[in-house]
């Protein structure tokens, strides 16, 4: 026979366990949704602004840096276009309730654009370094074609590596309701070595190349006497912005590949690392800002227009205080007539 004290203890314990477990799951889903929405709201307008700017520049006079940044912007916009599906997945407690065909497509483009961004950011660092270290040789003809060819290779390389998403989804268990997750032992035999290769080829090598290029770029600029302090600061900002994207967005996720091959399983914190990769879409505009004067000019113009819309009274007052040339001419004419009547000489200023 169960006493009233035992019943009370059982109810209290049950409520305590439920209260400790449910909020943890709730906070995880809520935090993922917060990161996705924040990235979407910041990344979409910033990348659309950059896309329009680079399209105008490439159409007018294509340059290697503009072609690279245009491809990086397109990669981010594709990533952001499929981010609402990840939001729906977070709302559904990380269970995939959308049509099945959207799962492999979303995962494929989600991870492909991430690795494509690492390759394009590396190419930007190489382009900036070569333009300063070898300015004469770097102005040789054919650079635009070589840059376009490199971008095509980057897209093919990233899309080919991430085709493993389709392979894993076709071989998933029938009762697995997650999208590209909860892999069985047979799947891990194929998946973990592929992830290790991606960690080495698509992250370590680009990261080392970018670090080498930016360290030497800053070192060269610091030794040149005719380089302005403003340009040095822009180079430092570009280097820090790129390395921040690598370390914060791509680093933890790719390290999880290395940990997975060592532990022979997928790390439990991998989903948190994936969340950090989404921030790439709203941090890339930092690279755009420090790499392109056209983006800086466009952003400055947009901010001025927004300021004018938010504060029309100040704009009208400023316009009212601005002297009109016609008014100035009319005033001078009046003074000349008055001086003539009085018999004095008037000299306009």
Give the model confidence (pLDDT) of 311-339 as tens digits: 765 555 554 554 443 343 444 444 444 44
* Residue 165 confidence (pLDDT): 82
Give the model confidence (pLDDT) of 125-163 as tens digits: 999 898 888 877 766 677 889 999 999 999 999 999 888
Place of tokens 């376009």: 148
Give the model confidence (pLDDT) of 64-95 as tens digits: 888 999 999 999 999 999 999 999 988 888 88
Give the model confidence (pLDDT) of 293-311 as tens digits: 777 777 778 878 888 888 7
Residues 6+ apart with CB under 8 A from 190: 164, 167, 168
* Residue 312 confidence (pLDDT): 66
* Residue 51 confidence (pLDDT): 92
User: Which of 112, 129, 110, 82 has the alpha carbon at shortest distance from 242?
Assistant: 129
CA distance 46 to 67: 17
C-alpha 264, offset from chain centre? 31
Q: Where are the domains of the chain?
A: 23-301
Average pLDDT (110-118) is 93
Residues 6+ apart with CB under 8 A from 201: 161
**Helix H segments across the chain?**
4-60, 64-81, 83-91, 102-133, 135-138, 143-161, 164-170, 185-199, 205-223, 229-244, 251-263, 270-278, 280-291, 293-310, 312-321, 325-342
Q: Name the residue with higher pLDDT: 229 or 116.
A: 116
* Residue 225 confidence (pLDDT): 77
* Residue 140 confidence (pLDDT): 66
* Residue 321 confidence (pLDDT): 52
Give the model confidence (pLDDT) of 252-300 as tens digits: 999 988 888 888 888 888 888 888 899 888 888 877 777 777 777 777 7
- For domain 23-301, the CATH class is mainly alpha
b/e sequence 218-251, b meaning 16+ C-beta within 10 Å: beebeeeeeeeeeeeebbbebbebbbebbeebbb
**DSSP assignment letter at 324:** P
Place of tokens 């998403």: 165
Joined together, the tokens standing for residue 210 give: 């970018």
Average pLDDT (230-249) is 83
Place of tokens 């090598």: 205
The answer to whether residues 68 and 269 touch, using CB atoms and an 8 Å cutoff, is no
Joined together, the tokens standing for residue 109 give: 């483009």
Residue 13, pLDDT above cutoff 50: no
C-alpha 229, offset from chain centre? 27
């Amino acid at each position: 026979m169960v006493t009233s004290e035992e019943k009370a203890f059982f109810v209290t314990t049950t409520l305590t366990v439920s209260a400790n477990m449910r909020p943890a799951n709730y906070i995880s889903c809520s935090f993922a949704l917060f990161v996705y929405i924040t990235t979407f709201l910041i990344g979409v307008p910033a990348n659309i602004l950059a896309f329009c700017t680079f399209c105008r520049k490439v159409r007018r006079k294509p340059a290697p840096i503009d072609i690279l940044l245009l491809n990086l912007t397109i990669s981010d916009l594709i990533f952001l276009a499929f981010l609402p599906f990840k939001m729906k997945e977070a709302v559904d407690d990380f269970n995939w309730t959308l049509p099945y065909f959207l799962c492999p497509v979303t995962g494929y483009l989600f991870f492909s654009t991430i690795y494509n961004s690492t390759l394009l950011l590396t190419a930007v660092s190489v382009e900036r370094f070569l333009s300063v270290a070898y300015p004469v040789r770097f102005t040789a003809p054919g650079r635009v074609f070589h840059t376009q060819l490199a971008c095509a290779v980057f897209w093919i390389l990233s899309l080919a590596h991430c085709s493993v998403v389709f392979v894993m989804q076709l071989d998933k268990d029938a009762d697995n309701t997650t999208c590209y997750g909860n892999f069985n032992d047979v799947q891990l035999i194929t998946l973990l070595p592929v992830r290790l290769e991606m960690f080495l080829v698509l992250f370590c090598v680009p990261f080392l190349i970018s670090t080498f290029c930016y360290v030497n770029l800053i070192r060269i600029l610091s030794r040149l006497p005719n380089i302005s302090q403003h340009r040095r600061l822009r180079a430092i900002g570009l280097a820090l912005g790129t390395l921040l994207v690598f370390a914060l967005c791509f680093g933890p996720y790719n390290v999880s590949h290395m940990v997975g091959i060592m532990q022979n399983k997928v790390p439990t914190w991998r989903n948190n690392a994936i969340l950090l990769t989404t921030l790439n879409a709203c941090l890339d505009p930092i690279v755009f800002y420090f790499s392109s004067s056209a983006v800086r000019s466009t952003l400055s113009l947009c901010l001025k227009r927004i300021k004018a819309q938010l504060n029309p009274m100040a704009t009208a007052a400023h316009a009212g205080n601005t002297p009109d040339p016609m008014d100035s001419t009319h005033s001078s004419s009046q003074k000349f007539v008055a001086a003539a009547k009085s018999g004095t000489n008037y000299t306009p200023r």
